[in-house]
Amino acid sequence: MYKCFGKHFIIPVTTAIFMVYMICSAVAQEGNTSTLTLEGSIDAAMENNLSIKTAEEKVETARHKVKEALGAMFPSLSANASYTYFGKLPTMAFDLDPSALGIPPEMLEMMGQGAAQEGSEPNEIPMGEEDTYSTGLTLQQPLFMWGKLINNYKQTKYSLEAAEYELEATKDQVILDVITSFYGVLLTEHMVDTAEMAVKQVEAHLKTAQDLVDAGMATNFDLLRAKVQLANTKSGLIKARNGLNLSKDGLKNMLGINLNEPIEVEGQLVYVPLKLDLPQHLAKAMENRPEIKQLEMQANAGEKFVSLAKATNRPNLVAVGNYNWESNADTPGDIFDGDEWKNSWNITLSLNFPIFDGFSARAKVKQAESGLRQIQLGMEQLKDGIGLEVRAAYFGVMEAEELLKAQEETVQQAEESLRIANLQYKNGIITSVELMDTELAFTQAQTNRFNALHDYAIAVAKLEKATASELD
């Protein structure tokens, strides 16, 4: 009996502990929910978005290329060291009597040579020692490169500016994407609220239908229709909630937030009237868009690349200075003896004048010129595309504004119609089918209004991105 009591006691306690743990986990998770505003979302994207980070790395790469090009114009200094072992030393042979040259006999013996005898082999003197140690410094300075170095430096500078404008364009696109995603979350939240309100309305309709059936004022057909409508409305609520979860995940992914982290958004879809002027918007776009400035910098870099290609077969003048120390010590220990080292230095002016390169320089020039023309053609194409983008965004704002104004009045009318229909249904004046049609019209009107608010906000954001300026 004791064991049985313990078994029945442990199970409820374990279940209670598990439930307390789950409740605490849910509370803790709710406490860690991040609340995002539109401004905070944009700031988070500027810091964490991978597209922006990639563009920033491109700027960093371009910046170091500028430093590399600048460094090519300064002198370069290098150190060198070598050790050479001669398995067989070169020798110098001669037939003269070394003694006639004043070479002492003992030195001849040291060199392994004797006095030249008539009819004997020529005398040979070894050149150098078997072990040779050498070290030195080499200084090199370009003097005249026919504009190669300065043009390369300017090209990298223009490429750096182009990368910076690309970063700016990337940020503009990310801001638009964040706004679109943020407002998408707000829209789906409104859709969930509308669906929940529709469910409550149908539930009230179902209760009224049940009361009328009980009172003998309606048939079971009306009750059945109300139950079917409630099931359909709940299905719409489930889809709306799933859409809200997906839209939040999309926003978290864009902001670099863990998908498992719960978030809430704080903001409203509001209508703010704007002053629109299509010619002015087009002019601002052509003046402010970073993509245009990026291609302008790329065109400038392309011109310098053409100059570089033209200088390929031009003469170059370089100054080279060498300072060397050399030792022929007999033993490795002697190389640290300062008396064993001999120094020398020289300065060389090197002029290189290409004469014939198989027409490769000409081909490089043609390639560079073709690349420059491609950039120029791309500029015209880009401007046409930007003009089309501005016009589309402009007309999108106009359309959304007109639809929004129309929907504001429609919602008011649908709300009043629903209020009257509920009263008429309770009094048995209209059928349940007519009431459900009125409820559907009210729900559709609210949905259309939220969609119009969303479309207007997105259209404004697109126009601001297209013109690279804020709208008044």
Which tens digit of pLDDT belongs to each residue from 78-88?
999 998 887 77
CA dihedral defined by 361, 366, 369, 371, rounded to 10 degrees?
-100
Q: What is the pLDDT of residue 225?
A: 82
**Burial status of residue 235 (CB atoms within 10 A of its CB: 0-12, 13-18, 19 or more):** exposed
354 pLDDT above the threshold of 80:
yes
- Tokens encoding 176: 């638009």
- Tokens encoding 166: 């690309």
Q: What is the pLDDT of residue 418?
A: 82
283 pLDDT above the threshold of 70:
yes
Tell me the mean pLDDT in the region 340-356: 87
Whole-number Å distance between alpha carbons of 440 and 197: 12
Q: What is the pLDDT of residue 107?
A: 60
335 pLDDT above the threshold of 90:
no
pLDDT tens, position by position, 203-215: 887 887 788 788 7
13 pLDDT above the threshold of 60:
no
Q: How confident is the model at residue 319 (pLDDT cuts 50, 70, 90)?
A: very high
Handedness of CA 246, 251, 256, 261 (dihedral sign): negative
229 pLDDT above the threshold of 50:
yes
Of the listed ranges 138-152, 318-332, 389-403, the least confidently predicted one is 318-332
Q: How confident is the model at residue 186 (pLDDT cuts 50, 70, 90)?
A: very high
Domain segments of the chain as ranges: 34-74+147-314+358-467, 76-145+317-352
Q: How confident is the model at residue 238 (pLDDT cuts 50, 70, 90)?
A: very high
pLDDT tens, position by position, 26-54: 444 444 778 999 999 999 999 999 999 99
Which of 309, 304, 287, 286 is closest to 158 using CA atoms? 304
Beta bridge partners of 77: 139
Of the listed ranges 313-322, 375-384, 432-441, the least confidently predicted one is 432-441
154 pLDDT above the threshold of 50:
yes
Whole-structure pTM value: 0.73
Tell me the mean pLDDT in the region 327-332: 63
17 pLDDT above the threshold of 90:
no
Which of 34, 463, 44 is closest to 281 using CA atoms? 463
CATH number of the domain located at residue range(s) 34-74+147-314+358-467 in this protein: 1.20.1600.10
pLDDT tens, position by position, 295-317: 999 999 999 989 888 888 888 89
109 pLDDT above the threshold of 70:
no
